[in-house]
Chains A and B, each alone.
Chain A
Amino acid sequence: MSDAPKKSWFTRLKEGLAKTSRPLTQGIKDLFTKKKLDQASIEELEDLLIQADLGVKTSHKIVSLIAKSRFDKDVDEEEVRVALAQEIATILDPIAKPIVIDNTQKPHVILVVGVNGTGKTTTIAKLTKEFKEEGHSIMLGAADTFRAAAIEQLQIWGDRLKIPVVTKQAGADPAAVAFEAYEKARKDNIDILMIDTAGRLQNKTHLMAELEKIIRTLKKIDPTAPHTVLLILDATTGQNAYNQVEIFQQLTGVTGLIMTKLDGTAKGGIIVGLAEKFNLPIHAIGVGETSEDLKPFKAQDFANHLMGIEA
């Protein structure tokens, strides 16, 4: 994946953020203009991380890390921010990995899963554009046969990007769509097949079983498929993201995450806790609605964004 030619995602983020208040940054500024790091300010630091959705436990842990060495010493705002960003970047660094396409697979099958409304179809459009620019041939499978007009939504993206889309009628068995798309992609010697699935809440057992069936069906053609299972997470999601990752990973063998909607005010801090708990790669982040708005996930940039540090 390449950085956008004109503006970095960070600049775009900053532009978005400039329009709104910056509670996190401003909060820390209010906290420290060179003063002693005492218990009260430690608690307030924790509060600031909590507001970025890092969760109570993770926030406490990260603040303790920097508090240990600096307690009761004079610190300034910038120093605290940089130190916190550093701790966060250290946690995120090992999981910041791009999607690796296995060229020996024809096609490399990517199954895209997640709860409703996280942006699966839009993300597929963005990935398609990236892969296409890298010179891969691509095919899409419209296995969301449930939601009204989901097939058409993917088809429109396919038309715009000039990519073939394998579809069946609404209400068809999604596993059958996946199977057919896989067969066709093999026949046409396609490099990458991306399969769009219907959004589903992870606690709906029967819907999760449907996903498992899609995977079983793909394995009938090739036991190593799907080669990548992407879980799409919405940055506005709170602590429920833990349940989402846990159950999708358990039942569908998620291999990596993409976080969407980071162009709003949601900080997506849940990623820090997820990184520690699940150790799953985070491939990319979504920062807008057009097909260009997918950027590689970079640990330090993301940590800086969380802490409101300028690039």
Chain B
Amino acid sequence: MFEGLSNKLSSIIDRLVGKGALTENDVNMAMREIRIALLEADVALPVVKEFIETVKAKAIGQDVVKSISAGQMVVKIVHDHLVEVLGQKNSELNLNAAPPQVIMLVGLQGAGKTTLTAKLALRLKNKRHKKVLMASLDVKRPAAQLQLATLGEQANIATLPIVQGQNPVEITKRALQTARLEGFDVILLDTAGRLHIDDELMDEVKDVHHAGTPIETLLVVDALTGQDAVNVAKAFNEKLPLTGVVLTRVDGDARGGAALSMRSITGCPIKFLSTGEKLDQLDDFHPERVASRILDMGDVVSLVEKASEIIDQEEAEKMAKKLEKGKFDLDDLANQLKQFSKMGGIQNLLNLLPGMGQLKKDMPKGVDEKVVPRQLAIISSMTLKERKDYKVLNASRKKRIAAGSGTTVQDVNKLLKRFEEASKMMKHLSKVGKRGLFSGGLFSK
């Protein structure tokens, strides 16, 4: 699990460190790498410095567990501390007040507030069975109020009717009144994006806060944010009593160091991770996953979860039986390919695997993703007989298949070669399986 960073660290400190406890010198050297890793993950510099100081004190003098290297040990200490600093998971929205409870979302322009408003509303409706009213206070950006109304229609959630010419405080008051009259449990206030240095707009948001007296005031932050996260967090935190942070665009490939910056500076819990453009794509916050990602150690937990969600249990059992008999045909290969593409293709899987950051960069893009659908097309263009026994494929059959799948005969040959390799391996595995994995075979070649 600790591949990426610990490999780097191992090469530096493992040859120096003796057996036993980590010395100050070992730790100092390791911290230089940790510092770079955190900065490359966009953790803000002042936060990095503070983090390193604390973790250094923790690491010096720690006994190195026998089974792992000193490098891995340091990474484990860093990782554990990072998890600790990032805070608790599953901090649900606080609704402990007389209804209507008000939840207010604030942040910079383009952070993803409006989409998140609809996501939170949907979650409150489905998971906590609340009657929710959404209101857009964004009178600045063209069509912003309409955007929330459209999302409301899509998710079947009420939005406050748009009245032209009202200012955000007036809209807030109207939302409160509507909620009381029509019996809504929760009001979500979607505010306009604003720069933290725009005094006028920061005063306005303060007025809205005063008028709405929200039980939750959430700062919405783009996971792609760089060093500026510090300034944003400080300014919003000074102006408003924030109660939580939500990170958006976590489905991108940024390492998301902003999470640590936000948490350190505001002291507020990170409540959710927004992970896609669909309204149900809102995840609980898991500190371990975010920590692994910041340290480029991959998100193995998510990978396993994703795999178990998607891979059909029945299919898997059927496959196991076939393997036992040593029978593996092209239909089985097609099935495997389908399962694989359901998991989001190579690029997506690489995002989740540890230490794959570099490999991913080295891989030619665009090419790989097309291979799987093309191979599926080739298999679909075969007759059932051909799929059961590929040996019947002569030149004219191959030509037909190539034409049918929009590929070339070379592509067909390539697929068949890959299939041969795969079935050889399957046979081998099934033999090994019978004898037990470690009785030879797998490692003897």
Could you list which residues of chain A lie within 8 angstroms of chain B, going by C-beta atoms? 16-17, 19-20, 47, 50-53, 55-56, 115-119, 146-150, 152-153, 155-157, 170, 201-205, 234-240, 243, 247, 250-251, 261, 263-267, 270, 289
| Cβ A240 vs Cβ B252 within 8 A | yes
A127 CB → nearest B CB, Å: 16
Judged by a CB distance under 8 angstroms, whether B80 is at the interface is no
**How many residues of B are in contact with the other chain, CB < 8 A?**
54
A-B contact pairs, 22 of them (CB 8 A): A51-B44, A51-B227, A53-B228, A116-B112, A117-B109, A149-B149, A153-B143, A153-B144, A155-B143, A170-B150, A201-B252, A203-B253, A235-B228, A238-B254, A239-B254, A243-B253, A243-B254, A261-B108, A263-B195, A265-B197, A265-B232, A270-B226
Among candidates A156, A201, A264, residue contacting B143 with C-beta atoms closer than 8 Å: A156
Closest to B118 in A: A148
With contacts A234-B224, A264-B228 taken as known, whether A202 is within 8 angstroms of B253 at the C-beta atoms is: yes
| Cβ B226 vs Cβ A239 within 8 A | yes
| A146 CB contacts on chain B under 8 angstroms | 277
Q: How far is the CA of A224 from the CA of B143 in the complex (A)?
A: 34
Judged by a CB distance under 8 angstroms, whether B39 is at the interface is yes
| Cβ B347 vs Cβ A265 within 8 A | no
Q: How far is the CA of A16 from the CA of B94 in the complex (A)?
A: 36
| Cβ B347 vs Cβ A238 within 8 A | no
Q: How far is the CA of A238 from the CA of B148 in the complex (A)?
A: 28
| Cβ A19 vs Cβ B197 within 8 A | yes
Q: How far is the CA of A170 from the CA of B225 in the complex (A)?
A: 30
| B154 CB contacts on chain A under 8 angstroms | 148
Among candidates B36, B225, B277, residue contacting A238 with C-beta atoms closer than 8 Å: B225
A149 CB → nearest B CB, Å: 4
Q: How far is the CA of A149 from the CA of B225 in the complex (A)?
A: 25
Judged by a CB distance under 8 angstroms, whether B110 is at the interface is yes
| B123 CB contacts on chain A under 8 angstroms | none
Most buried by A among B151, B228, B351: B228
Most buried by A among B109, B150, B232, B251: B109
| Cβ A56 vs Cβ B150 within 8 A | no
Judged by a CB distance under 8 angstroms, whether B348 is at the interface is yes
| Cβ A265 vs Cβ B146 within 8 A | no
Sample of 13 more A-B contacts, CB < 8 Å, known A20-B196, A20-B235, A265-B228: A17-B197, A51-B227, A119-B110, A147-B277, A148-B147, A150-B147, A234-B224, A237-B225, A239-B40, A243-B253, A250-B365, A263-B195, A264-B195
| Cβ B143 vs Cβ A234 within 8 A | no
Judged by a CB distance under 8 angstroms, whether B210 is at the interface is no
Among candidates B142, B150, B232, B253, residue contacting A157 with C-beta atoms closer than 8 Å: B142
B160 CB → nearest A CB, Å: 15
- The interface bits of chain B over 7-40 (1 if a CB of A lies within 8 angstroms of the residue's CB, else 0) are 0000000000000000000000000000010011
| A204 CB contacts on chain B under 8 angstroms | 251
| A115 CB contacts on chain B under 8 angstroms | 224, 249, 252
Q: How far is the CA of A119 from the CA of B345 in the complex (A)?
A: 29
| A52 CB contacts on chain B under 8 angstroms | 227
Q: How far is the CA of A197 from the CA of B151 in the complex (A)?
A: 19
